[in-house]
Structure 1
Amino acid sequence: MKQGFGWEFIPAMFFHPRKTMARIVDGEHDEWVLVIAAAIGSSSALIQASGWRIGLQYGFWPVLLAALVAGGLYGVLSLYLNGWLLTVSGRWMGAKGSFGTVRAALAWGRTPMLAACLVFIMQLIMFGDQVFGVTNRSLGSSDALREFYSLSNIAITVLSIWSLVTTVAALSEVQRLSVAKTFSNLLIAGLLLLPLLILIVVLFGVFNH
C-alpha cells in the first residue's frame, strides 16, 4: 500500500542518502517523483537565470514565469530521458534497478536543490527584480547586503554540488552499483545524450537564421 508524502525524507537525504533511498523505494513513494522533478527543474532554472543575469535583457516577470513553467517541464522531461539512459547504460554495467526506481533516485536524490531554492527565494525577497541582473553596484553601498549576496551564492553552489553527491548515492542504492560505477554510468549516459544536444543546438541555429 502506498504511503503519503514523506517530508522526513528531504532532510534525511542530506545525511543518509542510501538508507533514505531504500526507505523511499520500499514505501513506494513514486507518485511524488514527477512533482519533485518539476519543482527541482523550476528551482534550477531560476538559479541559472539569476547566474546568467538574463533579466537585464528580458525583464523580471518574463524570466520568472519562463523559469517556473519551462523549468518545471524540463525537469519532468529530463527525468524520463535521463532515467531511461541511465537504465540502459546501467544494464551494460550489471545494474539491477528498474526504470521506475532509477527515476525515483534521480528525483529524490536531487532534493538538496530545494534547499538551494529556499536560499534563492531569500535573495528574491531581499533584492526583488535585481536578482536576475544583480551586480555589486546595484546592491548599493551596504556591505551587509553585498556580504549576504556573496554568502548566499556560496550556499547555493555548495547545495548544488551536494545534490550531485546525494544523487550518485541514491542511484548507487537502487542500481546496486558501487559509487565509482554509478559515476561512470552518469558519464556514459551523458555521452549518449550528447548527440541529441548537438542536434538541438544545430536546429536552433538553423531556425534562428
Structure 2
Amino acid sequence: MDINEQQVLNPWTSMWTKPRATIAQVVATDPKRSVLTIVSLAAIFPVIIMILVSSTVFFAFFPQIHFNLTGVLLAGAIVGAICGILGLYFSGWLLATVCSWFDSRATQTEMRAAIAWSTIPNLWTIPLLLIQIYILASGFVDFGNGDGSHLGSYMGFLTLLNIIKFIIGIWGTVLLCKSVGEVTGFSAWKAFGCILLSFIIFALVIFAISLLFRL
C-alpha cells in the first residue's frame, strides 16, 4: 500500500474495521510505533483489575485488616508491563518462526507490530472492567450489610458485561489473524492456522517441561 496515495488512518480506531490497511500503514511507516506502550497497557490493566477485585473481596470479608494497596498496585503494574513486553517478544519470535516455515515474508519486528496492534480492542474493554469493579464492590457492600435485594440486578449487569467482553475478545482474535496475514502475505485463515500451530507447540513444550519436573 502506498501511504501517500491512501487515506492516513488512525490505528487506535481503524484497527476495529480496517486491520489489514492499518497494519500495512504501521509497517510501512514505523513498525515499532507505540508497540511497547500498547502491550504494556494491555498487560498492566488486567493485573490492576485483578488486584482491585481481589482487594474488594478481601476488605469486604476482613475489614479489620489493612495493607498498602497503592504499593501492591504499583508492583503489579511494573510486573505486568515487564511480563507483557517479554510475552510480546517471545510470541513474536515463535509466531514469526512458525510462519517462516510456510514462506512468510514477515520479520519479527513486523510480527510484534501485528500482535500488539491487534490487542487494541482489549484496551477498549477497560471501562467495562471498571464498571464491573464498581458493581462487584457495590454487591459486596450490600451483601456485607445483609441486603441481597439487588443481587439479581448485579448478576444481570455482570453477565451482560461478560458477554460484551467475550464478543470483543472474539473480534480481537479475528483482528490478530488479519494482522498476521497482512505482514506475512497469508490469508486470515492461513494465519489462524499458524497461530494455532504456535500455540500447540508452546503448549507441548510447557507440558514436556512439566513432565521433566515430575520425574
TM value normalised by structure 1: 0.76
Root mean square deviation of aligned Cα: 3.6
Pair 1:15-2:17 in alignment: yes
Pair 1:89-2:91 in alignment: no
Name which of 14, 32, 35 aligns with 1:33.
Answer: 35
CA distance in 1, matches of 2:22, 2:181: 12
CA distance in 1, matches of 2:164, 2:208: 35
CA, structure 1 residues 63+191, in 2 after alignment: closer, same or farther (shift >3 Å)? farther
Preserved CA contact (<8 Å) 1:116 1:160? no
CA, structure 1 residues 54+199, in 2 after alignment: closer, same or farther (shift >3 Å)? farther
The Cα shift of 1:34 comes to 0.9
Task: Among all aligned residue pairs of Structure 1 and Structure 2, give the percentage whose two residues are the same amino acid.
Answer: 26
Name which of 44, 62, 72 aligns with 1:42.
Answer: 44
CA distance in 2, matches of 1:43, 1:13: 20
Residue in structure 1 matched with residue 129 of structure 2 by the alignment: 120
TM value normalised by structure 2: 0.74
Pair 1:80-2:89 in alignment: yes
The Cα shift of 1:196 comes to 4.1
Pair 1:182-2:184 in alignment: no
CA, structure 1 residues 41+200, in 2 after alignment: closer, same or farther (shift >3 Å)? farther
CA, structure 1 residues 177+121, in 2 after alignment: closer, same or farther (shift >3 Å)? same
Preserved CA contact (<8 Å) 1:115 1:159? no
Preserved CA contact (<8 Å) 2:32 2:109? yes
Structure 1 spans left out of the alignment, 5+ residues: 1-5
CA, structure 1 residues 203+96, in 2 after alignment: closer, same or farther (shift >3 Å)? same
CA distance in 2, matches of 1:164, 1:8: 20
Structure 2 spans left out of the alignment, 5+ residues: 1-7
